[in-house]
């Protein structure tokens, strides 16, 4: 599908991404370097096998795969979405919702029925030599997750009813993101990008778990969420980035304080923290990043805490033909906190989807302190490594007809050191989940 200078052309886009649908001709640089030879393979697998006639550059491709914020998945990653063209505007919708029944064992386990969800709308338009994208992302979690949390063994972070959450995950805010993303070519093979968001995601960490293809069927956050990607909902973000070919360097100033437990309002922006990230998509199927950030006072109950967070990730996506895809992520995160020193987290997750059927798995190991786990110990800075092993399956009842509705289930096994037996029991903990999932079908241009 050739793009004509000055004209917006319909093309495959993700609602989360600054898409190339109406990127001006100046951005569609005729590439001579060997990297772009892989773009044909990328386009063959992108959005369910849609063909495109023009040769996209890596600049265009990585811009097209910026998620809620400016992080990037591999260029070959397909995404479920609805899209329409209204004159010069490209309007997109993306989202997911679950009805989830969960049972967890042990003294700190719990059972619950809840409904995590999120929805995003985006509108894209060319502007002079550049292109901008407006994003609005909402969640009904404050209403559908009762009690301000849902159970998840060994999960920590944020508060509920004035107390720290432990063995539980907080709901998302009603407003998860609202921001403006603008990109403009400044030289051959070079693009300047600006991102401003009253609520958004700074340049710190990998693609956040709700937007990773490798975690598309997992209803809950990783145990290392607050070591890896917890800044994906931040009240006040400004980011500037420079893209050269397939490498992007960017920096952010943002608010370090995580959202409070009143999930419907806007928190006060502070712009007291900063971060930097280098991203590289060497081939269409691979996205790499390293980042570091200084986070001031992330937790409201520990206002004097300062955290230096360092992350690295590799996301590999392999299209395997029409309506078949395999996505795998490795994520490492380290927090160097005022009270606890350095603690590590590791995660590997994978999602194999073929037609109506999806098999997925996640393994993670996180070092958490007695303070994090709210343990009655004399030494609150003592560190305990905990692990989670999850495997699951989803079968779509409706598929490829605009909305995919699937029934799924998963089993998680939790491991902890013997020193935690007085709190978590002397057996391995485990959890069962059964859920109904609904989301848009994978987009295919007809």
User: Per residue in 288-331, pLDDT tens?
Assistant: 999 999 999 999 999 999 999 999 999 999 999 999 999 999 99
- Condensed to tens digits (0 to 9), the pLDDT of residues 84-126 reads 888 888 888 989 999 999 999 999 999 999 999 999 998 888 8
Q: How far apart are CA 134 and CA 181, in angstroms?
A: 7
Per-residue confidence (pLDDT) for residue 80, from 0 to 100: 83
pLDDT of residue 38: 33
pLDDT, greater one: 63 or 167: 167
- Judged against a pLDDT cut of 60, whether residue 33 lies above it is answered with no
Read off the tokens for 70. Answer: 């400016």
**Structure confidence at residue 422 (pLDDT):** 95
Distance CA 374, CA 114 (A): 24
Contact 233, 114 (CB under 8 A): no
Is 60 exceeded by the pLDDT of residue 232? yes
Q: How far apart are CA 158 and CA 167, in angstroms?
A: 12
Q: Cβ(83)–Cβ(91) under 8 Å?
A: yes
Residue 10 scores a pLDDT above 60 = no
Of 299, 261, 259, 234, the residue nearest 147 (C-alpha): 261
DSSP, collapsed to helix, strand or coil, labels residue 109 as coil
pLDDT of 64 reads 54
Residue 259 is classified by DSSP as: P
Measured CA to CA in angstroms, residue 424 lies from 108, 167, 274, 371 at distances of: 6, 10, 37, 15
What's the confidence (pLDDT) of residue 127? 83
Alpha-carbon dihedral angle through residues 361, 369, 229, 268, given to the nearest 10 degrees: 140
Residue 404, number of CB atoms within 10 A of its CB: 21
Q: What are phi and psi of 18, to 5 degrees?
A: -70, 105
- Please give the pLDDT value at position 130: 86
Q: Between residues 15 and 383, which one has the greater pLDDT?
A: 383
Under 8 Å between Cβ of 64 and 79:
no
Above 70 in pLDDT, residue 24? no
Measured at the CA of 76, the angle between CA 409 and CA 87, to 5 degrees, comes to 100
Q: Which residue has the tokens 């096994």?
A: 413
> What gap in Å lies between CA 22 and CA 330, rounded to an integer?
33
pLDDT over threshold 50, residue 19: no
What count of other Cβ atoms lies within 10 Å of the Cβ of residue 67?
25
Task: For residue 161, give every residue at least 6 positions away whose Cβ sits within 8 Å of its Cβ, in sequence order, or none.
Answer: 148, 261
Angle CA 74–76–82, to nearest 5: 105
How far is residue 391's CA from residue 350's CA, in Å, rounded to a whole number?
A: 10
**Mean pLDDT of the residues in the chain:** 85
Angstrom distance (rounded) from CA 4 to CA 377: 67
User: Which of the 8 DSSP states describes residue 428?
Assistant: -
Domains and CATH numbers, the chain: 34-440 (2.40.160.10)
Per-residue pLDDT tens digits for 248-281? 999 999 999 999 999 999 999 999 999 999 999 9
What's the distance, CA 222 to chain centroid?
A: 11
H helices, E strands: number in the chain: 5, 20
What is the arithmetic mean of pLDDT over 167-193?
93
Chain Cα centroid distance, residue 87: 30
**Is the pLDDT at 12 greater than 90, yes or no?**
no
The predicted pLDDT at position 126 comes to 85
Q: Are 199 and 177 in contact (CB under 8 A)?
A: yes
Regarding predicted confidence, which is higher, 388 or 246? Answer: 388
Number of residues assigned to the chain = 446
User: Given a cut of 70, is residue 30 above it in pLDDT?
Assistant: no
Backbone torsions φ then ψ of 141, nearest 5 degrees: -50, -40
Tell me the pLDDT band of 81, cut-offs 50, 70 and 90: confident
Structure tokens at 437: 């999932």
Task: Choose between 130 and 174: higher pLDDT.
Answer: 174
CA distance 8 to 92: 15
Calpha distance 92→15 (Å, rounded):
5
Q: Which residues, 6 or more positions from 331, have their beta carbon under 8 angstroms from its beta carbon?
A: 206, 222, 224, 228, 229, 311, 312, 313, 345, 346, 347
């Amino acid at each position: 599908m050739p793009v004509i200078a000055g004209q917006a052309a319909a093309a495959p886009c993700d609602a989360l991404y600054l898409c190339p649908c109406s990127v001006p001709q100046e951005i569609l640089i005729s590439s001579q370097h060997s990297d772009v030879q892989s773009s044909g393979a990328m386009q063959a697998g992108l959005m369910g096998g849609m063909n495109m006639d023009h040769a996209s550059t890596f600049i265009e491709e990585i811009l097209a795969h910026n998620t809620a914020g400016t992080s990037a998945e591999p260029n070959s990653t397909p995404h479920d979405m609805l899209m329409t063209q209204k004159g010069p505007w490209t309007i997109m919708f993306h989202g997911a919702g679950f009805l989830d029944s969960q049972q967890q064992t042990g003294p700190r386990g719990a059972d619950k029925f809840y409904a995590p969800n999120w929805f995003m709308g985006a509108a894209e338009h060319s502007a002079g030599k550049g292109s901008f994208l407006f994003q609005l992302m909402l969640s009904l979690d404050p209403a559908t997750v009762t009690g301000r949390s849902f159970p998840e063994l060994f999960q920590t972070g944020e508060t509920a009813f004035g107390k720290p959450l432990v063995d539980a995950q907080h709901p998302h805010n009603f407003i998860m993101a609202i921001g403006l993303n603008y990109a403009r070519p400044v030289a051959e093979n070079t693009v300047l990008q600006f991102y401003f968001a009253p609520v958004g995601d700074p340049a710190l960490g990998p693609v956040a778990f709700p937007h990773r293809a490798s975690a598309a069927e997992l209803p809950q956050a990783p145990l290392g969420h607050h070591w890896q990607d917890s800044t994906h909902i931040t009240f006040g973000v400004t980011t500037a980035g420079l893209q050269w070919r397939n490498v992007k360097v960017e920096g952010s100033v943002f608010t370090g304080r995580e959202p409070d437990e009143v999930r419907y309002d806007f928190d006060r922006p502070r712009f007291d923290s900063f971060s930097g990230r280098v991203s590289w998509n060497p081939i269409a199927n691979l996205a790499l990043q390293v980042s570091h950030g200084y986070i001031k006072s992330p937790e409201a109950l520990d206002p004097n805490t300062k955290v230096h967070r360092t992350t690295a990730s590799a996301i590999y996506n392999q299209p395997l033909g029409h309506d078949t895809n395999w996505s795998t992520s490795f994520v490492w995160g380290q927090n160097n906190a005022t009270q606890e020193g350095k603690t590590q987290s590791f995660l590997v997750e994978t999602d194999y989807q073929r037609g109506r059927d999806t098999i997925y798995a996640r393994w993670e190991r996180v070092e958490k302190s007695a303070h994090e786990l709210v343990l009655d110990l004399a030494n609150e800075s003592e560190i305990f490594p905990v692990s989670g092993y999850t495997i699951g399956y989803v079968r779509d009842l409706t598929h490829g007809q605009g909305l995919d509705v699937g029934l799924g289930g998963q089993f998680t096994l939790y491991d902890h050191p013997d020193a935690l037996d007085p709190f978590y029991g002397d057996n391995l903990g485990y959890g069962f989940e059964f859920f109904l999932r609904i989301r848009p079908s994978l987009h295919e241009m007809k």
